[in-house]
């Protein structure tokens, strides 16, 4: 399932990855390059399987671990209210 950032969430790209800022609470998340790739894939309309494929293609990571990482990140983003 593709993601959409919450209306009060803005992003900034850094040398190390991406920052997600929740303007309601002032809390922010710093995504490393793997997290950035996952979020970008999902925001561009891909699903979790597409994000797993992107991680496996870009980084030296086992497919099973990539799937667990994608699921964990998307769950955390949803739970935090940063995405829908």
Give the strands of the sheet with 9-13, arranged side by side: 9-13, 18-22, 28-31
- Calculate mean pLDDT across residues 48-61: 96
> Is residue 57 over pLDDT 70?
yes
Under the banding of pLDDT at 50, 70 and 90, the label for residue 1 is: low
- Calculate mean pLDDT across residues 36-55: 96
- Calculate mean pLDDT across residues 42-69: 96
Residue 80 burial class via C-beta count within 10 angstroms: exposed 0-12, middle 13-18, buried 19 and up: middle
- Calculate mean pLDDT across residues 3-24: 93
Its sign, for the CA torsion 48, 53, 57, 59, is positive
Q: Tell me the per-residue pLDDT of 28-43, one tens digit each, with 9 for 90 and over.
A: 999 999 999 999 999 9
Residue with tokens 């667990």: 68
- Calculate mean pLDDT across residues 48-52: 97
Rounded-to-integer distance, Cα 11 and Cα 67, Å? 24
Report in angstroms the alpha-carbon separations of 24 from 13, 29, 42, 59.
20, 14, 23, 34
Predicted TM-score of the model (pTM): 0.90
């Amino acid at each position: 399932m593709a993601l959409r950032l919450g209306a009060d969430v803005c992003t900034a790209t850094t040398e190390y990855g991406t920052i997600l800022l929740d303007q309601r609470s002032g809390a922010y998340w710093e995504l490393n390059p793997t997290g950035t790739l996952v979020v970008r894939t999902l925001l561009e309309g891909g699903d979790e399987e597409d994000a797993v494929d992107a991680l496996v293609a870009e980084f030296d990571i086992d497919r099973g671990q990539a799937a667990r990482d994608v699921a964990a990140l998307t769950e955390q983003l949803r739970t935090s209210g940063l995405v829908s």
